[in-house]
Structure 1
Amino acid sequence: MANHISRRQFLTTLAMTPIMASVGISEEPYTYSVKGKIAASALGKSLIHEHVMVDFIGAEKISPDRWKHDEVIRKVLPYLLEIKQRGIQTLMECTPAFIGRDVVLLKKLSEQSGLNILTNTGYYGASDNKYLPQWAFTETTEQLASRWIAEFEHGIEGTGIRPGFIKTGVNSGALSDLHQKLIRAATLTHLKTGLTICSHTGPALPAREEIEILKQSGVSPSAFVWVHASGSPEELESVGRSGCWISLDGVNADNIDKHVDLLTFLKNKSQLGQVLISHDAGWYRPGEPGGGEFRGFTTISDKLVPALKANSFTDADIRTLMVTNPAKAFAIGIRKS
């Protein structure tokens, strides 16, 4: 298919880029979707930060009996088929445990839509720890990491479904001791599994602190996705010099011009090869009538890509953003500093 990277092209590109220089991959790069192992080169056009379902009731109250698969599928499947028709082939589903991660539901949606869907391991500390299980406060870094490593090695909650990345989250200020522990647990998990670390972060301050923890732990910043990267263009460029992935994942119909300007800036700074784009959309909400208002995933295809092409972005640039970069970012491999 036109949106796939050939095996030779992908391996050649991977070998030449500093992003993956330390991985030492001896086989074709791969990751895991909810349906099993998949070559990274087969991910195709990807949306790297979306949500099927989120439940904000809190870690102490959340329970799978708060939603029914059939009702969620009825609401969500048309939106997935909509992007499939636009050539999207892969969705990274970023809902963490204790906020509505349901890997069996995701597998059903993957099978019915024909999309690759990746899920995650890890815990989410942002929003002042409301979505952390009680043991996250008391267990050591090593104990938390062992839980996430076990999900990778044995599958999530007895399903056999493996995560394709780590998802964690921190508050927008300086990192608390607890949030430092979450990031250190993520680094231990990466060093054991090779899973990429995606951390809900926001401003440059916590991003810099997270990257410093990675370096202290012997993990390359190329294993880190700066989720919800925000700040001035100069701040994004500065943090990006570390080699991390810059995730511009809040694209919507009201900020197309802003994203065109920012992507143009990063392209002119030769950093387009580190940028990931997505919507942070979806959000079926248990407890709300009909699952609440659901925002689809088509704005990048329908509005941002045409706007970029009208501003001198080439087909190769778009391919970099939507095909090549996601395949590199989410390929499983230990990346040491």
Structure 2
Amino acid sequence: MQHSYCISRNQFIRLCTFLPFAIPDFRVDEDFILTVKGKIKPSELGSTLIHEHVLVDFIGADKITADRWNHDDVIKKVLPYLLELKARGIKSMVECTPAYIGRDVKLLQKLADLSGLNILTNTGFYGASDNKYLPALAFTETAEQLSSRWTAEFENGIDGTSIKPGFIKTGVNSGPLSDIHQKLIRAAALTHLKTGLTICSHTGPALPALQEIGILKTLGVSPAAFVWVHASGSNDDFLKTGKTGCWISLDGISEGSLAKNADLILFLKKNGFLKQILISHDAGWYRPGEPNGGDFRGYTAISDKLLPLLKEKGLKDSEIRQLMLVNPANAFKIGIRKI
């Protein structure tokens, strides 16, 4: 039997409206979160998509330049999708495009102004895809030198602007960590200890995730500072990795993966990990060089399809708020997390 999982705009907004008195376990310390428009309180983050993209350029670190795209063209294509998700009650988006793959903080700031959304950007380097998107200096500098670069963006702003990163984004291949990927994780750990920025690492399987967590722990960083991006594996993999205390990011949600992700969320909830789950689409992807930026996937499958499905399967409104409001605020608040 087929079901149509629909939810009205007003129903979703009521579901995700931040009501502190209705969420007794909301215990975010009132520090701050960094958006492209500046500091906000964690309680102001609201319902959040924690892993999305506006623009991604896969030409390679040695070829990418900011003149490969035009802000007006990108805004014309992307802004309607941002307004669409805002109309569903989403208040914030974590934009995960790293440096040398199309991170453009001025563009993100314009889109934040035009859409009214809180948008977070990042610092860090991305080593996945066999290092195609790493600049040459990533191979020659030490972890300490890389960390100094990333910390400077946190302290002074990115690319000569006053816009500061709200998290660290890095990435590794899906197998055992190479030497350079170990260095990236050490640099991320050192940066966290200086800045309190959360570490989001494109990872995938549990094997490299556990190795990354091991490196963090040797440097005194709690796994609670680490987001296991594109988390995948068997149920046992999720249980073993989740027990470290890291964030479990289910960020590839689409129309075609609703049932799989709903079942996984319910499995993790049953085993006590609801407060560690982060969900998103990994959608968007304006691509420079393709006609009109190429195919662009919107950001509404969670609000329109997944959340109604989870409610049908028994997830309570308070538990949906946990996923959409509480967990993102706890994950991205600025704060050094030591073992």
TM-score band (shorter)? over 0.9
Per the alignment, residue 21 of structure 1 pairs with: none
Residue 113 of structure 1, aligned match among 101, 112, 115:
115
Partners of 1:144 and 1:250 lie apart in 2 by 29
Q: Deviations over 1:155-196 (max 9, x none)?
A: 001111000000000000000000000000000000000000
CA contact (8 A) 1:195 1:330 kept: yes
Per the alignment, residue 96 of structure 1 pairs with: 98
- Are residues 219 and 114 of structure 1, via their aligned partners in 2, closer, same or farther at CA, if it must alter by over 3 Å? same
Per the alignment, residue 27 of structure 2 pairs with: 13
1:336 partner letter: K
CA contact (8 A) 1:5 1:324 kept: no
Per the alignment, residue 198 of structure 1 pairs with: 200
- Residues 26-37 of structure 1 correspond to what in structure 2 (within 5 A)? 28-37=30-39
Per the alignment, residue 224 of structure 1 pairs with: 226
Partners of 2:127 and 2:214 lie apart in 1 by 18
Q: Deviations over 1:270-298 (max 9, x none)?
A: 11100000000000000000000000000
Q: What are the ranges of 5 or more consecutive residues in structure 2 without an aligned counterpart?
A: 1-12
Residue 77 of structure 1, aligned match among 79, 83, 92:
79
Per the alignment, residue 19 of structure 1 pairs with: none
CA contact (8 A) 2:26 2:326 kept: no
- Scaled by the length of structure 2, the TM-score of the pair is 0.94
Partners of 1:69 and 1:304 lie apart in 2 by 32
Secondary structure of the structure 2 residue equivalent to 1:282: coil
- Residues 136-175 of structure 1 correspond to what in structure 2 (within 5 A)? 136-175=138-177
CA contact (8 A) 1:29 1:41 kept: no
Residue 4 of structure 1, aligned match among 12, 18, 21:
18
Residue 315 of structure 1, aligned match among 307, 314, 317:
317
Partners of 2:84 and 2:282 lie apart in 1 by 16
2:27 partner letter: T
- Are residues 271 and 164 of structure 1, via their aligned partners in 2, closer, same or farther at CA, if it must alter by over 3 Å? same
Q: Deviations over 1:225-284 (max 9, x none)?
A: 000000012211210100000000000001111011101100100111000000000000
- Scaled by the length of structure 1, the TM-score of the pair is 0.94
Partners of 2:327 and 2:315 lie apart in 1 by 16
Per the alignment, residue 57 of structure 1 pairs with: 59
2:335 is aligned with 1:333 = yes
Secondary structure of the structure 2 residue equivalent to 1:53: coil
Per the alignment, residue 18 of structure 1 pairs with: none
Give the superposed CA RMSD: 1.5
CA contact (8 A) 1:34 1:163 kept: yes
- Residues 238-253 of structure 1 correspond to what in structure 2 (within 5 A)? 238-253=240-255
CA contact (8 A) 2:250 2:279 kept: yes
Aligned residues: 325
Per the alignment, residue 299 of structure 1 pairs with: 301
2:266 partner letter: T
Per the alignment, residue 44 of structure 1 pairs with: 46
Per the alignment, residue 17 of structure 1 pairs with: none
Partners of 1:260 and 1:246 lie apart in 2 by 14
CA contact (8 A) 2:126 2:171 kept: yes
- Are residues 318 and 289 of structure 1, via their aligned partners in 2, closer, same or farther at CA, if it must alter by over 3 Å? same
Partners of 1:320 and 1:281 lie apart in 2 by 22
Partners of 2:157 and 2:133 lie apart in 1 by 21
- Are residues 5 and 138 of structure 1, via their aligned partners in 2, closer, same or farther at CA, if it must alter by over 3 Å? farther
Per the alignment, residue 130 of structure 1 pairs with: 132
CA contact (8 A) 1:5 1:41 kept: no
Q: Deviations over 1:33-73 (max 9, x none)?
A: 00001111100000000000000000000000000000000
Q: Deviations over 1:122-144 (max 9, x none)?
A: 00000000000000000011000
Q: Deviations over 1:3-26 (max 9, x none)?
A: 235499789624xxxxxxxxxx6x
Q: What are the ranges of 5 or more consecutive residues in structure 1 without an aligned counterpart?
A: 15-24
Partners of 2:167 and 2:21 lie apart in 1 by 22
1:192 partner letter: K
Partners of 2:91 and 2:278 lie apart in 1 by 15
Partners of 1:310 and 1:322 lie apart in 2 by 17
Residue 260 of structure 1, aligned match among 254, 259, 262:
262
Partners of 1:5 and 1:224 lie apart in 2 by 27
CA contact (8 A) 1:89 1:116 kept: yes
